[in-house]
Structure 1
Amino acid sequence: MDSEFLESLLMVIDHGSVAEAARRLGISATAVAQRISVLEDQVGTRLVARVGRTVKPTVAGAAIVERARDIVRDVDALRAVASAGRVEGEFRLGATSSAIIGLLPPVLKKLASKHPGLELHVTPGASTSLYEKLQANEIDAALLVEPPFPLGKAYSWATVRIDPYVFLASAKLKNTPPRELVRSQPFIRYDRGVWGGRLADIWLRSHRYRPTERFELDALDAIAVLVDQGLGVSLVPDWHGPWPEGIRLAKIPVPVDPIYRKTGFLWPRNSLHLRQIETLVAEALSAFPMSPLD
């Protein structure tokens, strides 16, 4: 029984669609359907059935799902052991959208050149969801904002970027003190549901800033555009970029007790992909050297 066929079955069950499974696997829908048909012939019963517009597992299909996941994971682990010491094979990396746009491109370019045998699959997501995926073994490592809680001994962390927080305002307000900015202008809040936004909120409350909120967003580039349009001010990390084109903003440093957003790699200490992770971290630090402050 081919583990890739089992992976196709799991993808169809997880997403309820042959077409979506095919898109994520990078093969045709016909190929996915053929793989499932072969599996059904091997086990002697139907494993999935169409219910309206969605593909659902049959009773037999639902019964084998967890065992199929175990088999796929075991095969992946065998591959990792076989390639130990070599930077090759499949590697699943989760990354925030800002990291995918601003940090990963030069790293991926170097990896593709130096290690053509590495099959890197990047999953986008917020830091909170990526942490959950890492715990569930759905990804091998994550490039995310440092969690605001102790990680314990099960995980390793490597910081690759430290961004100071700044008050963002339209260019004409560049000489306005931060407290006056927040008092006199509508506030565009960095979403408190994400770790970076939570850090900004803690600073505002601890220093008794009482903003009049207009929006709350988790997209930093969108916040920058709204500030540029004169719709308010914000407190955000001065991220690496790229920043939206054509905007003119004032970046005003936090006046006291500066805060920083750390972005880095998080992975299980007992990972079977340590060589790949070490290579990723090294290439990222080479592309973005840490400043003395960091």
Structure 2
Amino acid sequence: MDLRFVETLVVAVEEASLAAAARRLGVTPAAVAQRVEALEVELQVPLLVRAGRGMAATPECKALLPELRRLLAIRGGLQQVLAQDQLVGPLRLGAISTMLSDHAADLVQGLKQAAPEVELTLTPGASAELYEAFEQRRLEAALLVAPPFDLPKTMRFDVIATQRIGVLSPQSGGGDLPFLLYAREAWGGAACFRALQQRFGSPRVLAEMDALETIAQLVEDGVGRAVVPEWAGLQRRHPGARFQPLAVQGRQVGLLSWQRDARRPVQQVLRQILGIAG
């Protein structure tokens, strides 16, 4: 089975369009159709059907997709093993938004200097989403909030910082403003909500979102106040907001990676840039 054809099918399903899949893969729509047809002949089942103006997976295709994606993940893993040992090739790194704002410049510049042949891709997302992408081998590592559960022994989490949790208010008062909630389902948001309840009981809530930079901007604009973690760039990027720490446990953020990759050159360079010892 030609894995290029498998990749084409998976992309066509994700895009729900042969034309969109062709643009993403850099080939013609005719080539996409030919590859899918070749797989249909080899597997002896229909794989795509028309759905409105696009395409959709058949029931047979949906049943096969998990294993087809597994084949592609294995191929990607083999390529990545070779690349990491030679400081060349792609490095797919996920990061929550505040970690991106704190570390993106150092990562881009540091890797350019120490490993110029490494192709860095930074993928933003929430911690839970990034963990799932990492678990599925779609990321080599991720910068996120410490998982609220025990990790498998095959994974490791290196703490980069423990961020204080506190009340963020406009510089000019704001003591009577309603609260903007850091989403309670977010890994870091749950701790902030507990701190909010401990300090303020059941206060007025204006809105809830998993977007700390947006919350900080709204606070700075005088829309509300919030209980949030103190990431490195908070005060620098939002000087119109005042942070007052609370006497609660902070939010830990760090690097999620595979134990087996710890001694690989790319991971060692990554740890050096992020200031992780060992």
What is the TM-score with the length of structure 2 in the denominator?
Answer: 0.82
- Cα contact 1:169–1:234 (8 A) shared by 2: yes
Instruction: Give the residue type in structure 2 aligned to 1:93.
Output: L
Q: Structure 2 vs 1, CA of residues 129 and 280 (structure 1 numbering), >3 Å: closer, same or farther?
A: same
Structure 1 counterpart of 2:254: 264
Most deviating of 14-23 and 110-119: 14-23
Contact 2:168 2:216 in 1 (8 A): yes
Superposition RMSD on alpha carbons, in Å? 3.1
The answer on whether the counterparts of 1:190 and 1:234 sit within 8 Å (CA) in structure 2 is yes
- The answer (yes or no) to whether the contact 1:81–1:272 under 8 Å persists in 2 is no
Per-residue deviation at 1:187? 1.6
Bigger drift between 152-161 and 273-282 goes to 273-282
Secondary structure in 2 aligned to 1:4?
Answer: helix
Alignment partner, residue 201 of structure 2: 209
Q: Residue 40 of structure 1 is aligned with which of 37, 41, 45?
A: 37
- Looking at structure 2, the residues matched to 212 and 282 of structure 1 have their Cα atoms a distance apart, in angstroms, of 44
* Match 1:241 to one of 223, 229, 233: 233
CA 201–97 in structure 1, closer or farther in 2 if over 3 Å, else same = same
Say whether the 8 Å CA contact 1:225–1:247 is kept in structure 2: no
Deviations 1:10-59 (A, max 9, x none): 12212323455456x4x43x446514524534663764343213322346
Deviation at 1:138, TM superposition (A): 3.0
Q: 1:108 to 1:188 in 2, by over 3 A?
A: same
State whether residues 5 and 36 of structure 1, in contact with CA within 8 Å, keep that contact through their aligned partners in structure 2.
no
Structure 2 matches for 1:90-105, cutoff 5 A? 90-105=90-105
Check the 8 A contact 1:227/1:249 in 2, yes or no. yes
Aligned partner letter, 1:280:
L
Name the CA distance, whole Å, in 1 between partners of 2:177 and 2:151.
38
Q: Which runs of 5+ in 2 are unaligned?
A: none
CA deviation after TM superposition for structure 1 residue 200, in Å: 1.0
Shift of 1:67: 4.0
In the TM superposition, residue 105 of structure 1 has moved relative to its aligned partner by 2.7
Q: Is the 8 A contact 2:92 2:141 kept in 1?
A: yes
Quick one: percent identity of the two aligned structures? 28
Q: Does 1:277 align with 2:274?
A: no
Report the counterpart of residue 68 of structure 2 in structure 1.
68
Corresponding position of 1:168:
168
Note the alpha carbon deviations across 1:176-229, whole angstroms, 9 max, x for none. xxxxx4xx3322221111111111112233456332212222211221222223
Q: List aligned pairs for 1:83-162, cutoff 5 A.
A: 83=83, 85-162=85-162
Which string of whole-angstrom CA distances, capped at 9 and with x for unpartnered residues, describes residues 87-131 of structure 1?
A: 222333222122233322321222133323323333321111212
Q: Contact conserved, 2:93 with 2:139, CA < 8 A, in 1? A: yes
CA distance in 1, matches of 2:78, 2:38: 26
Asked if 2 retains the 8 angstrom alpha-carbon contact of 1:93 and 1:120, the reply is yes
